């Protein structure tokens, strides 16, 4: 994904604040299903985090829904994870606070 100048400027400012506060990690929220504008960050985002020594808690784009468990879907997820993982990620998570739906599965 390409990074526009305004977005990169915003990331630099947010990371500068985190660094000044001695916060060592930043979470990338997975609101992809709930927020159609949320996407994975650009390589520049992760490079900037690396330059500043920030670790990334990366949520996968699986939130607020139940997802298939068939072999084809799992293979697609495996491919996505391999593509998205960077050295700066300390956590790679899924299932964004959707545990209440587990009670509704038959």
Predicted pLDDT at 30: 62
Report field, pTM of the whole predicted structure over 0.75: no
Nearest 5°: the CA angle 25, 28, 30 is: 145
pLDDT digits 0-9 by tens, 8-17:
778 888 888 8
pLDDT digits 0-9 by tens, 37-86:
556 777 888 888 888 888 888 877 776 677 888 999 999 988 988 887 77
In three-state form (DSSP H/G/I as H, E/B as E, the rest C), the secondary structure along the chain is CCCCHHHHHHHHHHHHHHHHCCCCEEEECCCCCCCCCCCCCCHHHHHHHHHHCCEEEEECCCECCCCCCCHHHHHHHHHHHHHHCCCCEEEEECCECCHHHHHHCC
Predicted pLDDT at 101: 52
């Amino acid at each position: 994904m390409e990074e526009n100048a305004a977005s990169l400027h915003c990331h630099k400012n947010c990371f500068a604040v985190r660094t000044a506060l001695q916060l060592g990690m930043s979470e990338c929220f997975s609101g992809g299903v709930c927020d159609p504008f949320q996407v994975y960050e650009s390589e520049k985002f992760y490079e900037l985090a690396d330059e500043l020594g920030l670790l990334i808690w990366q949520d996968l784009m699986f939130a607020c829904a139940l997802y298939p468990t068939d072999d084809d879907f799992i293979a697609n997820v495996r491919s996505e994870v391999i593509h998205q993982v960077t050295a700066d990620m300390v956590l790679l998570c899924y299932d964004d606070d959707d545990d209440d739906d587990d009670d509704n599965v038959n």
